[in-house]
Amino acid sequence: MGGICDGRVVIVTGAGRGIGREHALEFARQGAQVVVNDLGAGREGAGRSGGPALEAVEEIRALGGQAVANNDDVADWDGAARLVKMALSAYGRLDVLVNNAGFVRDRMLVSMTEQEWDEVIRVHLKGHFLPLRHAAAHWRERSKAGEPVNARVINTSSGAGLLGSVGQGNYAAAKAGIVALTQVAAAELGRYGVTVNAIAPAARTRMTEEVFAATMAKPGSGFDAMDPANVAPLVAWLGSAESAHVTGRVFEVEGGVISLADGWRHGPRIDKGARWEPAEVGDAVAGLLAEAAEPEPVYGASSP
């Protein structure tokens, strides 16, 4: 097998099912050696099984590719360290980290428990930080030793993280944090030869099957816009040597559509040149709002 990632070593977290599995398969098709990480948990994080990761590895090997399975918890410091070490032990190097693992605990804010908040923040946000932290330390060490580094990190945010989503306050907060983490990591790691980007995919998975259940391929078209395999080509390209000029960006991808998400920017401003009086602020804010574009609506919010 060979393609745009020929010879590169890739870690994909949460790669036993859904979008992550399609990433792993596509990287293998493009010539990469893949570490398939998956804890084997259920949709809401319960349980643990080595089956999903092994099944993905077997599928890759059946295609003629190379892969190994890893069942470490990416939100655990030692587990994330072992994951990176496995790539180095199995294949002697690491070129790409795709952070994808996650689950949901959907609940309206007034009903959400502390545990539901903590668990989602842990697996998504901490589960992105820890593999990134250990991989980045490895790449920095290589760079400082004078070795050439041409590494990639692709993080997984969501439309919920970009715009918010009713009933998903914990998930949206975690995914928004991943965007900020991506931007900081891109700024910090560029000096070591590492690019860091994020995707916000829309596809039918265990986490979204209820939302997208009715969105199937149009009769006769042969194209299912919600197939998770549609996300993988962008991620494979971002993991390739060809994407060295792209970093700190967030891409939305759905079906055959790839778009660049345009995040927070400095907007209209008023400078009084002195401290504001509270009574003056209302008119100032009214002026700023009149100049600014209307914000995108939160997913699931009712129209005003």
- Location of structure tokens 């605990």: 105
pLDDT band, residue 207 (cuts 50/70/90): low
Can you tell me the distance from the alpha carbon of 198 to that of 203, in angstroms, rounded to the nearest whole number?
Answer: 16
Catalytic annotation present for 144: no
Annotation says 158 is catalytic:
yes
Catalytic, 175? Answer yes
Mean pLDDT confidence for 264-277: 96
Active-site entry in 158, 165, 240, 243: 158
Three-state DSSP class for residue 299:
strand
Per-residue pLDDT at 41: 64
The CATH number that domain 9-260 falls under is 3.40.50.720
Domain parsing of the chain, residue ranges: 9-260
- CA 3 – CA 16 distance, rounded (Å): 22
In the structure encoding, which two tokens stand for residue 20, read together? 């992550």
Residues 90-104 have a mean pLDDT of 97
Distant-in-sequence, close-in-space partners of 146: CB < 8 Å, separation ≥ 6: none
Q: How far apart are CA 106 and CA 194, in angstroms?
A: 34
CA distance between the termini of the chain: 53
Write down the catalytic residue from 165, 171, 240, 243.
171
pLDDT digits (tens, 9 = 90+) for 111-148: 999 999 999 999 999 999 999 999 999 999 999 999 99
The active-site residue, picked from 91, 126, 157, 175, is 175
Q: What is the DSSP string of 88-152?
A: HHHHS---EEE--------B-TTT--HHHHHHHHIIIIIHHHHHHHHHHHHHHHHHHTT----EE
- 222 band by pLDDT with thresholds 50, 70 and 90: confident
Share of the chain above pLDDT 90, in %: 88
The residue count for the chain: 304
The burial of 53, by beta-carbon neighbours within 10 Å (0-12 exposed, 13-18 middle, 19 or more buried), is given as: buried
Which amino acid is located at 196 in the chain? V
